[in-house]
A and B are shown apart, each in its own frame.
Chain A
Amino acid sequence: MRGLGKLTLYNLKLYLREPMASFFTLLYAPMMLVLFGSIYGNEPSPMFGGRGTVDVSVPAYIALVIVTVGLISIPIGTASRRETGVLRRFRATPLRPLTYLVADVAVYFAVTALGVLLLVATGKIGFHLKFQGNVLSVALGFILGMSAFTALGYVVAGLSPSGRAAQAIGMFVAFPFMFLSGATVPLEALPAGVRSVAQFIPLTHVVTLLRGLWTGGSWGSFGKEIAVLVGVLVVGVAVSAQTFRWE
């Protein structure tokens, strides 16, 4: 694992130096929360079973940060590094492929977690966000969702011929995911037809799991969500291992 520390450090710096990537990872979800929180407040609402809009939105927006990094940042980052020859240059050094992958994944997890912390802090400070779950349990739910979407991100990167194509494919997949899964607009506010389509979107299961764990739900009641996400993770890892290319 020689080179892991420095590679992680510089990958992190490089990520934060990309204005678009850092905006959508760190600031977009908190800004949405401020916007909709200011409009709807966080008073208990019958539509959300007596919970406030902010209380329901925060765990859903966590999924929004996950999908942004997973389906947009990872494909663009990986495919453009491949296209420009950065990966080729690394390959001419003794750096092990596994070390490269670990550093890469660590940074995507770190920036996503940072985005989530900023989101939660915004909710706490601005809107008296209520949390009834277990921190460790929610953290595990985050890790499961993020793992599944990280794997999907490398699949998109592997299937894309270029950085531009990765961006196009990533966004083409990510936007319907964002709006039909309950990650931006709560599922309760969507028509029944959309809700049934949403069941086929992996992100919906991240939203459901995180919203459930946020309010103290137990892992046992989310068997379907866990099964879907573990399935996406396993298939994603298998496919991305087959499609990953250094050049």
Chain B
Amino acid sequence: MAVLEVAGLRKAYGPVVAVDGVSFAVEAGEIFGIVGPNGAGKTTALECVEGLRRPDAGQIRVLGLDPQADGPALRERIGVQLQQAALPDRLKVWEALDLFSSFYLRPADPKALLDRLGLTASAKTPVSKLSGGQRQRAHIAMALINQPELVFFDELTTGLDPQARRVTWDLVRDVRSEGKTVVLTTHLMEEAERLCDRVAILDHGQIVALDTPAGLVRRYAPEERLSFTATPPCPLQVLKALDGVTKVESEGDRITVLGTHPQLVGQVVTALTASGVAFQDLHTAQATLDDVFLTLTGRQIRD
């Protein structure tokens, strides 16, 4: 069952078209990622869905409601963490939660929520004195205070260190395991890959691909990468001739083989052994969503 349906969404700011004919549907209980570089239109698309921006064209149904016409009823049932938003500096964490809980009909238990988000110790800390990770968890708390069915996270882990990022990922998984649906945006392909059930890749306001992370890799970057060190001479031609090998590169004594054959490793090892080549330090790596993005757009996502 789709909890969110978007068809033909378009939004321009003056001459700049931020979102250009985007359509997708999000199923109940999944973590759906909208990924793409900065400026791809992720936030604009999300804010149209949340009812914070009025689209120029297109249909949006969120939990069966129209975000523009049924704004208050919808905001009662969704949780929102915004990229550019703040809580008053001198408000303490528990006060912010107490305040936000008063805006909703059936708020969650603030104490339990603080506990779950690891904020109990900083409950009496003013928002301005929180660390980056704590502040982001406080924003997650505000997004969950109304026991929402559908939660939106916009660039949730941007600016966090790797440790805090991992903690946040676990929290997002927890949210989903309670049966809530999560829609998030990120410019971190690794985050999308680890967290999302399905991913829509957005570039210049358009969805260029939409599938599970594994499906996207299979389709757009199916090559496996295998590398090892070997004492020269190494029979590069033999490796190139193997079934499914697309590329062989050598740099000093480090050889890299790219290929799509399911038994790439076995083939290479057999060929090397047969040629009497001593090799060591062998690694394999699957392609990632970064490679998918590169294939689809010809650019690195970090550019």
Known: A14-B90, A18-B90. A89 touches B102 (CB 8 A): no
Q: Mark B86-102, 1 if CB is under 8 A from A, else 0.
A: 11111100010011101
> What sequence of 0s and 1s flags, for each residue 136-152 of chain B, a beta carbon within 8 Å of any chain A beta carbon?
00000010001000000
B100 and A14: CB pair below 8 A?
no
Residue on A nearest B142 in the bound complex, by CB: A89
Which residues of B sit under 8 angstroms from A241, Cβ to Cβ?
A: none
Interface centre among A18, A88, A93 (most CB of B within 10 A): A93
Distance to closest chain A CB from B234 (angstroms): 58
Nearest CB on A from B17, distance (A): 21
Is A227 at the interface (CB under 8 A from chain B)? no
Say how far B69's CB is from chain A's closest CB, in angstroms: 15
**B50 interface residue (CB < 8 Å to A):** yes
Instruction: Let me know if B191 is at the binding interface, CB within 8 A.
Output: no
Surface stretch bound by B, among A1-9, A31-39, A58-66, A180-188: A1-9
B91 with A10: CB separation less than 8 A: yes
**Closest residue of chain A to B77, judged by CB?**
A94
| Nearest CB on A from B102, distance (A) | 4
B99 touches A89 (CB 8 A): no
Known contacts A3-B102, A7-B99, A10-B91; A94 and B72 CB within 8 A of each other: yes
Question: Which among A6, A17, A94 is the interface contact of B99 at CB below 8 angstroms?
Answer: A6
In the bound complex, residues from chain B placing their C-beta under 8 Å from that of A91 are: 52
Q: Given the complex, which residues of A lie within 8 Å of B103, measured CB to CB?
A: 2-3, 93-95
B75 pairs with A89, CB closer than 8 A = no
CA distance A95 to B86 in the complex (A): 16
Query: What 0/1 readout, one digit per residue, does chain A (85-109) give for beta carbons within 8 Å of chain B?
Result: 1101101111110000000000000
Shortest beta-carbon distance from B149 to chain A in Å:
14
Q: In angstroms, how far is the closest chain B Cβ from the Cβ of A136?
A: 33
- In the complex the two chains form, what is the Cα distance from A92 to B102 in whole Å? 14
A130 within 8 A of B: no
For residue B22, give the distance in angstroms from its CB to the closest CB of chain A.
21
Question: Once the chains bind, are B85 and A92 in contact (CB under 8 Å)?
Answer: yes
B24, CB-defined interface residue at 8 Å: no
Does B202 have its Cβ within 8 Å of any Cβ on chain A? Answer: no
| Complex CA–CA separation, A2 to B101 (angstroms) | 10
B84 within 8 A of partner (CB): yes
Q: Residue of B at shortest CB range from A90?
A: B103
Q: Known contacts being A3-B103, A85-B86, is A92 close to B52, with CB within 8 Å?
A: yes
CA–CA, A96 to B230, complex, Å?
A: 69
15 contacts across the A-B interface (CB closer than 8 A) = A3-B99, A3-B102, A5-B102, A6-B99, A7-B99, A10-B95, A88-B82, A88-B84, A89-B142, A91-B52, A92-B85, A93-B146, A94-B72, A94-B103, A96-B72
